[in-house]
Amino acid sequence: MTTRVPVEKKVLNENQIVANELRDRFRENAVFCLNLISSPGSGKTTLLEKTLDRLPRNTRVAVLAGDIQTENDANRLKRSGFPVKQITTGGTCHLDARMVQKHLEDWPLEDIDILLIENVGNLVCPSSYDLGEAAKVVLLSVTEGEDKPLKYPSIFFKSELVVITKLDLLPHVPFDLAKARENCLRVHPGVEIVEVAAINEAGLDQWMTWLRKRQDATSKSRTAVLIN
């Protein structure tokens, strides 16, 4: 009799092992790692551009940008002057922990305080793959529809923050902002929600405040470990 091992379960188990190793390394070096996930075109790259623009030049931040084929996003983000690498998956609809591990090989983690990972544009596959991040952030643009949290509950449930993007387009699209908030909280009660229009920078202060607080918490946790 032939015993069959579910391939998906095996892959996810192997990914979790590497993700746990990455998380341990991030904690040891006080690296705050963030995994940004959304549908294609929701504004991840624009949000990251504005984020990098607002960070002090001496901030020790690095970016991994995931895409199926091109290096367009990485090229945009490199204009910030911060270290950026593109992870091209060649067709895979998500990043996995091994990809992250490989692309971090020549980046000393002790020289990084914030690692921002822009995942491949997809709301399904990335939700199953832990990258060792401290938190997942899911973006929802007003051009997509307020029912996305109900259609793709896994990623909204697993994310610590929902960023509703492209608010400047609200007058031009049939998007119910109140309903979108309600649907997010229905899937993930208590989840934090910020609303931004990255193009005109509306709401970015709230996003940056959240980012700094989470990064500060990582630094304090590292200090506490060293003291103990």
Residue 52 within a domain: yes
Residue 221 within a domain: no
Name the strand (E) or helix (H) holding 32. Answer: strand 32-37
Residue 12 within a domain: no
At 51 the pLDDT is 97
Residue 224 within a domain: no
Residue 99 within a domain: yes
Could you tell me which of 80, 91, 18 has the C-alpha nearest to residue 46? Answer: 80
Residue 181 within a domain: yes
At 223 the pLDDT is 46
**In terms of pTM, does the model score above 0.75?**
yes
Note down the domain range covering 98: 17-215
Positions in the chain short of pLDDT 50: 1, 223-228
At 71 the pLDDT is 86
Residue 220 within a domain: no
The CATH code of the domain that includes 37 is 3.40.50.300
Task: List Cβ<8 Å contacts ≥24 apart for 13-17.
Answer: 15/96, 15/97, 15/98, 15/129, 15/130, 16/97, 16/130
Residue 75 within a domain: yes
At 122 the pLDDT is 95
At 217 the pLDDT is 85
Split into its structural domains, the chain has a count of 1
At 219 the pLDDT is 73
